[in-house]
Amino acid sequence: MSIVMVQVNHEQHEYSVGISVGEIVKNVFGKKSNIVAALVDGKERDFSYGIENDCNIDPIHGNSNNGSYIIRHSCAHLLAQAVTELYPDAKPTIGPPIEHGFYYDFFMEPIGDDGLKMIEKRMNEHIRKNHSIIREEIENEELRRMFSHNKFKIQIMDEKIGDEMESSIYRQGDFVDLCIGPHVPSTSYLRWFKLTSTSQAYWKGDREKESLVRIYGMCYSTKEELKQRQKQIQEAAKRDHKKIGREMELYMIDEMIGRGLPVWLPNGEIMKSEIEKFALETEDSYGYVRVTTPVLGKKELFEASGHLPHYADGMYPPMEMDDGEYYIKAMNCPMHHRIYTSKKRSYRDLPLRIAEYGTVYRNELSGTLAGLLRVRMLSMNDAHIYCTLNQVASEVEANILMAKEYYDTFGFENYHLRLSLWDEEKKDKYIDQPENWKSTQNYLREILDNLDMEYEEVKGEAAFYGPKIDIQFKTALGREESMATIQLDFAAKERFDLSFMDETGTENGEVFVIHRAPLSTHERFAAFLLENTAGNLPTWLSPIQVQAITISEKHKQYANEVKTLLETAGVRVKLDDSDNTIGKKIRTHRKMRPAYMVIIGDDEQKARTVSIRARDGRQKNDVSLNDFIADIFAEITNRSKTLDII
RNA sequence: GCCUCAGUAGCUCAGCCUGGUAGAGCAUCUGAUUUGUAAUCAGACGGCCGGGGGUUCGAAUCCCUCCUGGGGCUCCA
């Protein structure tokens, strides 16, 4: 009998030829190892894979990245098994693993919640039966015969396999799916799953093609991971900016005003203008100038900018006026370009940094609107930098630095850089100048490399006029969102005839434009800030910085004096001198999340002090009024991240 | 826009399955109370049960439709 030498965990083992990966894993790691598959000489293999030669085996654990994807992929198959049994006409299409779970798209009639429950029940039955998941290699013709009733699978074969090659299927019970694998050995590995939702998707993501039913689920290798994820979802719900926004009276969305059109209420306006003030100061120090441009502009403007050919879907339909067609702006850049060309520019003017705090309007599909996260009116901390190619690197660097300064002040840490590239396949989405795309992309890549910062590259995420560097954040639910963007525009110079007089006295047309918005839009930024802080804003951002509370009506006069003194120092303060009990007042005002409550009673009145209660419950009594005012004033002007005057 | 779930008092929700004509707590207002760190007591006010249509003797409840909100429509054997 022949022998193979297999290295597992840096140890050599001898086995007879043909032994399966599963047997080796059981032999080395025991039965309860939470191992779901293995890397055999670097390739992912099922437990059933037979070892014919000497090799290296690395186990894949169910809670590792690869392992959880294998489990989720298998769970998607299990879902398809249940669905095809319960709905015999349903045609499975694709079912990949995703972060936290999986989905599977079926060509079938839509199902509701009851259907989802039924499917989940059926999946659990199959888990209890513990079907083996068996891989089979099938030659092409046979494969096509097996799936002849499912045109989607046939199309997948056409695209991925062709006519020649054979491929693999996976079988569990009576269910068979076309799949390259690998998968877990049997259905009992899939115990910790939960179906979460259904939605509609299009075949190949194309609206013109068949509408499919997408079923989402989550799946983990252990009960603990599943529970933890469910807890995370619960926690995120508590931090929902829509709930916090309502409690703190920050903004509202009114049916009659319109969907996706948030209205900033007095408290929200305070927060928003504090952010603006901060940005204004920061940009001043970085050499920006400020302008205001109109909300409307003529059709010719947006044709020149390329918005109408490339971005018409995102804009509102034109308005017919007596002197032509006008559009509501979706971006500020074309107007800023016209400011640039309004006079002859010298090389001494560059870089010219034009900033604007204004609103732009984008026509998002009604179904995508969500609280402040996706809106139709966006308040932007927008700016455009006009510079030469030589200046691009330092301007981009300065912007990354500026963004870091902002996030530092707000206490955000969970972000990374993304280099967003064009997709040469999608000609209508991007300006068709391949040479410019390639050179500017390389240019940005070089800048990032020189900065020595980690980044990922993603294709198809560029703006229509150029590549960009995005700063990506993770939400409480673990989803990624763009916060900041720094875009390099190589198209504007031609479209708007941008030029300057250079050192040699010749007209130079090589003007690059950097579009940048480090604080996203106010709407998205506020949503993120509220989620991140659970509404517990630092003092300088708190709409109510101090909530004063009297103990009895005897203290009204002194309390009013405290209030006036705080107001004089520029502190936002409210006083509750109603005849409710103090416990009641504290409970009531907590909802508004003031940074501090100050309690005013006999002792305080006598000694001209206050008792301070921070939002987190920490407390300090008998603080002299003057000290308190000085301390909170400092905390506000320093834009302190934490409440630390106690 | 499409799929799905939901909409009852300012807020949070019960009632709906099985049709008989609307409820609670909080908030608000009025009294009483004058309080020392997460709900003092009592009373009052408050609803076209999202809009419209249908079925029925009778609809918050069943059916249709529209509106609004949540989730999804990026992850490709």
| CA neighbor of A387 nearest in space, from A503, A500, A505 | A500
Whose CA is nearest the C1' atom of nucleotide B76? A94
Q: Which residue is nearest to nucleotide B74 (CA to C1')?
A: A205
Nucleotide nearest to A480 (CA to C1'): B74
For residue A566, the model assigns a pLDDT of: 96
| Tens-digit pLDDT profile for residues A350-397 | 899 999 988 899 888 777 777 788 888 888 889 999 999 899 999 999
CA–C1' distance A363–B7 (Å)? Answer: 26
Nucleotide at minimal C1' distance from the A169 CA: B77
Residues A514 and A436 placed together within one structural domain of the fold: yes
- CB neighbours of residue A25 within 10 Å: 22
Q: Which residue is nearest to nucleotide B75 (CA to C1')?
A: A98
> What mean pLDDT, rounded, does chain A reach?
87
Q: How far is the CA of A255 from the C1' of B21 (A)?
A: 30
Nucleotides of B under 7 A from a protein CB: 1-6, 11-12, 27, 32-40, 67-77
Question: Structure tokens of A453?
Answer: 């910062």
Of all nucleotides in the shown strands, which has a C1' nearest the CA of A247? B11
Q: What is the amino acid identity at position A277?
A: K
Q: What stretch of H or E contains A39?
A: strand A35-40
Nearest nucleotide to A553, CA against C1' atoms: B34
What pLDDT is recorded for position A584? Answer: 93
Which nucleotide lies nearest residue A364, CA to C1'? B1
Give the residue among A483, A480, A477 at the shortest CA–CA distance from A518.
A483
Same domain, A14 and A124: no
- Kindly state whether residue A645 falls inside one of the protein's structural domains: no
Nearest nucleotide to the CA of A555, by C1', is B34
pLDDT at site A139: 86
CATH number at residue A40: 3.10.20.30
Mean pLDDT for the stretch of residues A290-295: 92
A309 CA from B48 C1′ (Å): 48
Whether residue A423 is found in the same domain as residue A394: yes
Place of tokens 């004096």: A561
Token pair, residue A345, equals 């520019």
Q: Which of A378, A402, A373, A409 is nearest to A482 (CA)?
A: A373
> How many Å apart are A579 CA and B42 C1'?
16
Q: Are residues A529 and A547 in the same domain?
A: no
**Structural domain contains residue A237:** no
Q: Where are the alpha helices (DSSP H) in A579-624?
A: 582-590, 602-607
Q: What is the ipTM of this complex?
A: 0.83
Please indicate, yes or no, if residue A646 is contained in any of the structural domains: no
Q: Which of A164, A197, A232 is where one domain is finished?
A: A232
Return the amino acid letter for A5. M
- Amino acid identity of residue A646, one-letter, is I
Do A502 and A565 reside in the same domain of the chain?
A: no
Q: Are residues A315 and A448 in the same domain?
A: yes
Over pLDDT 90: what percentage of chain A? 33
Distance A116 CA to B19 C1' (A): 29
Q: How far is the CA of A633 from the C1' of B37 (A)?
A: 24
Q: Which residues pair with A545 in a beta bridge?
A: none
- Strands A35-40 and A55-61, by their bridges, are antiparallel
Answer yes or no: are the C-beta atoms of A30 and A50 closer than 8 Å: no
What is the CATH classification number for the domain harbouring A77? 3.30.980.10
**A158 is written with which tokens?**
């056409």
Task: Provide the residue range defining the domain that includes A434.
Answer: 246-533
Instruction: Convert the pLDDT of each residue in A596-622 to its tens digit.
Output: 999 999 999 999 999 999 999 899 999
Q: How far apart are CA A378 and CA A376, in angstroms?
A: 6
Q: Are residues A32 and A160 in the same domain?
A: no
Q: Give the pLDDT score at A1.
A: 62
Side-chain-side CA neighbours of residue A21 (13 Å): 24
pLDDT in tens, A478-497: 777 888 899 999 888 988 99
- CATH number of the domain enclosing A596: 3.40.50.800
Q: What is the DSSP letter of A466?
A: B
Residue A118 above 70 pLDDT? yes
* d(CA A369, C1' B4) / Å: 16
At position A376, the amino acid (one-letter code) is: R
Q: How many domains does chain A have?
A: 4
A273 assigned to some structural domain: yes
Q: Is residue A241 part of a domain?
A: no
pLDDT value at residue A143: 86
Say yes or no: A481 and A600 in one domain. Answer: no
pLDDT at A255 over 80: no
A354 with A375, same domain: the answer is yes
Q: What is the CA radius of gyration of chain A?
A: 31
Tokens of A498: 């941008």
A160 pLDDT more than 80 = no
Between A228 and A114, name the one with better pLDDT.
A228
3-state secondary structure A209-260: CCEEEEEEEEEECCHHHHHHHHHHHHHHHHCCHHHHHHHCCCEECCCCCCCC
| pLDDT digits 0-9 by tens, A167-226 | 888 998 888 898 887 888 888 888 888 888 777 778 877 767 777 888 888 888 888 888
The two beta strands, A480-489 and A468-474, are: antiparallel
Q: At which of A232, A254, A270 does a domain end?
A: A232
* pLDDT tens sequence across A309-331: 777 778 888 888 888 889 999 88
Question: Would you say residue A124 has pLDDT above 90?
Answer: no
- Identify whether A584 is part of a domain: yes
| pTM exceeds 0.90 for this model | no
Based on the fold, state whether residues A379 and A459 are members of the same structural domain.
yes
Identify nearest nucleotide to residue A101 by CA to C1′ distance.
B75
What Å value separates CA A196 and C1' B76? 20
* Nearest nucleotide relative to A610: CA against C1': B36
What is the C-alpha separation between A536 and A531, in angstroms, rounded?
9
Residue A164 has pLDDT above 80, yes or no: no
- What is the spatial distance, in angstroms and rounded to an integer, between the CA atom of A246 and the C1' atom of B43? 30
Q: Do A217 and A274 belong to one domain? A: no
Q: A84 and A181: one domain?
A: yes
Distance A166 CA to B69 C1' (A): 50
Which one of A61, A80, A100 terminates a domain?
A61
**Structural domain includes residue A239:** no
* A218 belongs to a structural domain: yes
